[in-house]
């Protein structure tokens, strides 16, 4: 099964000019470096990423610590060396210099373990290992914090489904913006749940015809008295944007987003498409940037399709659950409104990262996201809850494509906060960041695959390229270059130089942890434009 590479390799390609020309004339070449920044897939990175995801299992505490291998590269030009005990400082220094390195610092608390810097073009690990005074030599791996929220249910119940989408690493990039509004068109929300404190904007109730879209009316079902007593809308809204990192309850995908609650599903758990059409248009007119529709039916209504088209025309992204079916149910096709081309249709994955057995499928499916499978305690999706019967604010866990869709809506809100403000750009980022789980292309069971949040959010246009001396002194004005654009450094002084390139992940103008970085040592030659490839990995 072919996987899509999510970690690109950045190549700086330059060209050698010989100076030969036709017509008996010669154009003198310029001393310097000229190249183009391009992306290419890399099978090794792809394999590492795919293998790392095999470790995501429904054991929340274990998943909490997992970081994809391909996201934690080593420090360039550094090794960690342990010397044989008893060597003098002069002998240690001589051993390292013999193989083209130099001592940098001793690891605190050790007697014989040092960090060394090396010239990667000439350094040989084998040569160093063969020296009698060396006991061990290792790479110096990078480490950096993941933004893990302190909400207690995150660690015990949510890490599996947020980890599956690589959200902890994405939260290092952004936790969203309170200027982004997601409309949750559903059954309403819990009226006073602390997870929604300060997160709500004005909404509307199309069931009761008022401005109180609360899910607080209980009508018992005589066949199943305990059905429909939990607030479906509250669960959906909680996944998108529950109050997060506040030491209580659960976490949401977008930590700072605003929620616009709109009620179209009544106490029986159902509603009608006419109200849905009205609700979509109302959300657009009142400032929603993203609309989540964790509802659906088997019949189309032109007014709903028109309302969604209008939303998209006003740069509002509409995301809908693909629908659920059960064993023996033949109606496995994508439900409306998810089936419309203008909607982003989302299916569900279980904790094993395979399609959940209940998840509807078809060629209209765009993406999949965690929806849970209920195989054990840790394979449900946990979120905000409200017991409509007892009027209690609670936390609940369930399964369904209704819970998969808000994962994508939350990620869309993070993308919007990063400047991807149109449905087309959001869709493109989601698609580009997919881990392909099905057949190549758009698979009827998985769509384009599972969008990974870090890959979606990372802006691959913030290239910075400059030249450095061997001691780190910058020799040129940094050049800002987008993907596939060219760069050049001309009229340089011949001599040794380092070509450095990186992607400024947090846009602070500095090369620091989390940025993609690459360097190569070379020597500028008179009247020659050099050719080099440089691999860029995460600092």
Structure confidence by residue, pLDDT tens digits, 96-148: 888 778 888 887 778 888 888 887 666 777 777 777 888 888 887 655 445 67
For the domain that residue 467 is a member of, what is the CATH number? Answer: 2.60.40
Separation CA 55–CA 68 (nearest Å): 9
Please tell me whether residues 242 and 205 are part of one structural domain: yes
Please tell me whether residues 121 and 179 are part of one structural domain: no
Percent of the chain at pLDDT exceeding 70: 75
| b/e sequence 390-420, b meaning 16+ C-beta within 10 Å | eeebebbbbbbbbbbbbbbbbbbbbbbbbeb
Q: Give φ, ψ of 384 to 5 degrees.
A: -65, 145
Specify if 157 maps to a domain. Answer: no
Please tell me whether residues 418 and 471 are part of one structural domain: no
Domain boundary among 410, 435, 457: 457
Please tell me whether residues 358 and 398 are part of one structural domain: yes
Please tell me whether residues 420 and 507 are part of one structural domain: no
Please tell me whether residues 319 and 304 are part of one structural domain: yes
Q: How many domains does the chain have?
A: 3
Please tell me whether residues 453 and 482 are part of one structural domain: no
Specify if 56 maps to a domain. Answer: no
* 497, β-bridge pairs: 522
Q: Give mean pLDDT, residues 304-316.
A: 95
CA 355 to chain centre: 20
How many CA atoms does the CB half-sphere of 299 hold within 13 Å? Answer: 6
Specify if 146 maps to a domain. Answer: no
Specify if 85 maps to a domain. Answer: yes
Window from 1-10, 126-135, 163-172 with minimum mean pLDDT? 1-10
For the domain that residue 427 is a member of, what is the CATH number? Answer: 3.40.50.200
Q: Are 263 and 188 in contact (CB under 8 A)?
A: yes
| Domain coverage including residue 241 | 168-457
Predicted pLDDT of residue 20: 32
CA 15 to chain centre: 35
Window from 35-39, 64-68, 149-153, 429-433 with minimum mean pLDDT? 64-68
What integer best gives the mean pLDDT of the chain? Answer: 78
Q: Give mean pLDDT, residues 401-408.
A: 95
* 201 pLDDT above the threshold of 80: yes
Please tell me whether residues 109 and 194 are part of one structural domain: no
More confident residue, 288 or 493: 288
Domain boundary among 141, 156, 189: 141
Predicted pLDDT of residue 463: 67
Per residue, what are the HEC states of 472-527? CCECCCCEEECCCCEEEEECCCCEEEEEEEEECCCCCCCCCCCCEEEEEEEEECCC
Q: Give φ, ψ of 370 to 5 degrees.
A: -60, 125
Please tell me whether residues 404 and 530 are part of one structural domain: no
Specify if 301 maps to a domain. Answer: yes
Task: Of 86-100, 167-181, 507-521, give the range with the top mean pLDDT.
Answer: 167-181
Please tell me whether residues 370 and 482 are part of one structural domain: no
For the domain that residue 78 is a member of, what is the CATH number? Answer: 3.30.70.80
Distances (CA, A) of 247 to 149, 155, 195: 8, 11, 11
Query: Which contiguous run of DSSP H or E holds residue 402?
Result: helix 401-417
Specify if 214 maps to a domain. Answer: yes
Specify if 389 maps to a domain. Answer: yes
Domain boundary among 457, 478, 493: 457
* 478 pLDDT above the threshold of 90: no
Please tell me whether residues 380 and 260 are part of one structural domain: yes
pTM: predicted TM-score of the whole model, two decimal places: 0.68
Please tell me whether residues 337 and 437 are part of one structural domain: yes
Catalytic residues: 186, 232, 402
Specify if 54 maps to a domain. Answer: no
Percent of the chain at pLDDT exceeding 90: 32
């Amino acid at each position: 099964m072919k996987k899509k590479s999510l970690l690109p390799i950045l190549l700086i390609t330059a060209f050698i000019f010989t100076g030969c020309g036709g017509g008996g004339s010669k154009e003198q070449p310029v001393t310097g470096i000229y190249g183009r920044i391009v992306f290419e897939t890399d099978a090794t990175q792809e394999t590492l990423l795919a293998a790392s995801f095999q470790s995501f299992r429904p054991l929340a505490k274990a998943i909490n610590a997992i970081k994809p291998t391909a996201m934690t590269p080593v420090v360039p030009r550094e090794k960690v060396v342990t010397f044989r005990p008893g060597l003098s400082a002069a002998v240690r220094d001589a051993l390292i210099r013999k193989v083209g390195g130099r001592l940098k610092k001793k690891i605190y608390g050790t007697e014989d373990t040092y960090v060394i810097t090396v010239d990667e073009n000439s350094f040989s690990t084998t040569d160093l290992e063969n020296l009698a005074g060396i006991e061990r030599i290792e790479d110096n791996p990078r480490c950096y914090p993941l933004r893990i929220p302190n909400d207690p249910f995150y660690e015990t119940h949510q890490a599996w489904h947020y980890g599956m989408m690589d959200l902890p690493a994405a939260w290092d990039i952004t936790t969203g913006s309170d200027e982004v509004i997601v409309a949750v068109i559903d059954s309403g929300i819990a009226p006073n749940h602390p997870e929604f404190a300060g997160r709500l904007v004005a909404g509307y109730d199309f069931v009761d015809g008022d401005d109180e879209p609360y899910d607080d009316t209980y009508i018992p079902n005589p066949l199943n008295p305990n059905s429909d007593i939990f607030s479906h809308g509250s669960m959906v809204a909680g996944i998108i944007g529950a109050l997060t990192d506040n030491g209580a309850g659960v976490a949401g995908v977008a930590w700072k987003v605003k929620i616009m609650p709109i009620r179209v599903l009544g106490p029986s758990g159902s509603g009608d498409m006419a109200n849905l059409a009205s609700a979509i248009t109302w959300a657009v007119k009142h400032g929603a940037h993203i609309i989540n529709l964790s509802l659906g039916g088997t019949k189309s209504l032109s007014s709903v399709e028109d309302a969604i088209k209008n939303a998209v025309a006003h740069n509002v992204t509409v995301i809908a659950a693909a629908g659920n079916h059960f064993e023996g149910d033949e109606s496995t096709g994508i439900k409306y409104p998810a089936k419309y081309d203008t909607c982003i249709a989302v299916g569900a994955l279980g904790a094993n990262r395979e399609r959940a057995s209940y998840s509807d499928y078809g060629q209209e499916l765009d993406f999949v996201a965690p929806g849970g499978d209920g195989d054990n305690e840790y394979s449900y999706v946990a979120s905000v809850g409200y017991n409509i019967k007892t009027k209690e604010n609670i936390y609940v866990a369930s399964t369904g494509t209704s819970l998969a869709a808000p994962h994508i809506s939350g990620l869309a809100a993070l993308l919007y906060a990063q400047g991807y403000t149109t449905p087309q750009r959001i869709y493109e980022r989601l698609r580009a960041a997919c881990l392909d789980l099905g057949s190549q292309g758009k698979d009827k069971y998985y769509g384009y695959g599972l969008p990974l949040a870090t890959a979606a959010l990372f802006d691959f246009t913030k290239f910075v390229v400059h030249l450095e001396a061997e001691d780190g002194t910058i020799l040129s004005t940094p050049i800002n270059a987008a993907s596939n654009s060219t760069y050049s450094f001309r009229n340089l002084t011949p001599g040794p130089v380092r070509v450095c390139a990186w992607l400024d992940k947090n846009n602070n103008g500095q090369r620091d942890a989390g940025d993609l970085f690459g360097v190569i040592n070379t020597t500028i030659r008179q009247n020659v434009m050099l050719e080099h490839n440089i691999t860029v990995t995460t600092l």
